[in-house]
Amino acid sequence: MQIIAHRGASAQAPENTIASIRRAWELGADGIEIDILLTKDNVPVAIHDSHTGRVGDLKLTIKDSTLAELKQVDVGSKFSSEFAGERIPTLEEVMAEIPERKYLFIEAKEAHASNLAKALIPLFSQHLDWIAGRQMVFMSFFPDLLWTMAAKFPDLTSLLLLDNARRLPRKIPTNLPSDSLPVHGLGLSSKITLPDEQREALIAAGAILNVWTVNNPDDEDKWADAGFDFLTTDFPELFLAKRNETTT
């Protein structure tokens, strides 16, 4: 099972920043997950909340602020003075930090499919090798956005995010993507109890399964044994230390 650093190594550096991404690679993470929203001038940036108040020294609303305005926000000092001056990265800047054979999980927080798709298509078109190699994983709670991107990039690995098992179709298709579930897999909250019958049907259909957010390394075997491919955590160092213990 691959270990994905949630918002980068977010326990050791400010979340969704270049610093947290670089720290994740130093720790040996298999991939990173970031959140993206659109600025007023339609630039995808890495940030979780709709405004900068929780992480920054200024409170600006992402959709009402230009990239230039958002670049004035210090998103490092609240975490630690060590990261003073850290800025909100664009998705393009994040992409420049992804090494070969490492995963980039992108969670789109934006509900407006057409606006975000217009901004993402040029960027994704520059990384068709990542798409073909399953290195880039696109995730959202919003099915319409996933369908829109899949129409442009049929090979793009897409995961529908679920925090409630009742949102799953009652009958799991025999192959994914399909008309009833046109994604490659699911990103499931660790709080979901997925019935064995549905889980086994998903695996049989070739679904990619990612669980979020798991922070106790003692739980890793449970998810691995259940057939999950990826585990997203705030503490990749704990899971990677456990991996190193079992291989030495």
pTM of the model: 0.96
pLDDT at 33: 99
94: in domain = no
Domain span holding position 152: 2-32+99-247
Average pLDDT over residues 39-59: 98
pLDDT at 29: 98
Distance CA 104, CA 98 (A): 7
Q: Which amino acid is at 186?
A: L
Per-residue pLDDT band for 127 (boundaries 50, 70, 90) equals very high
87: in domain = no
Report the half-sphere exposure of 107 (CA within 13 A, side-chain side).
24
Average pLDDT over residues 5-30: 99
SS3 readout for the chain:
CEEEEECCCCCCCCCCCHHHHHHHHHHCCCEEEEEEEECCCCCEEECCCCECCCCCCCCCEHHHCCHHHHCCCCCCCCCCHHHCCCCCCEHHHHHCCCCCCCEEEEEECCCCHHHHHHHHHHHHHCCHHHHHCCCEEEEECCHHHHHHHHHHCCCCEEEEEECCHHHCCCCCCCCCCCCCCCCCEEEEECCCCCCHHHHHHHHHCCCEEEEECCCCHHHHHHHHHCCCCEEEECCHHHHHHHHHHHHC
pLDDT at 76: 99
Least confident of 55-59, 109-113, 204-208: 109-113
37: in domain = no
pLDDT at residue 72 greater than cutoff 80: yes
Q: pLDDT tens, 129-157?
A: 999 999 999 999 998 899 999 999 999 99
For the chain, what is the domain count? 1
179: in domain = yes
The percent of residues above 70 in pLDDT, for the chain, comes to: 99
Average pLDDT over residues 185-205: 91
209: in domain = yes
- Here the CATH number for the domain that contains residue 228 is 3.20.20.190
pLDDT at residue 168 greater than cutoff 80: no
Cis peptide, bond prior to residue 52, ω within 30 of zero = no
119: in domain = yes
Look up tokens 């007023």; give the residue: 40
Per-residue pLDDT band for 247 (boundaries 50, 70, 90) equals low
19: in domain = yes
Choose between 102 and 245: higher pLDDT: 102
166: in domain = yes
Residues 2 and 232 sit within 8 Å (Cβ to Cβ): no
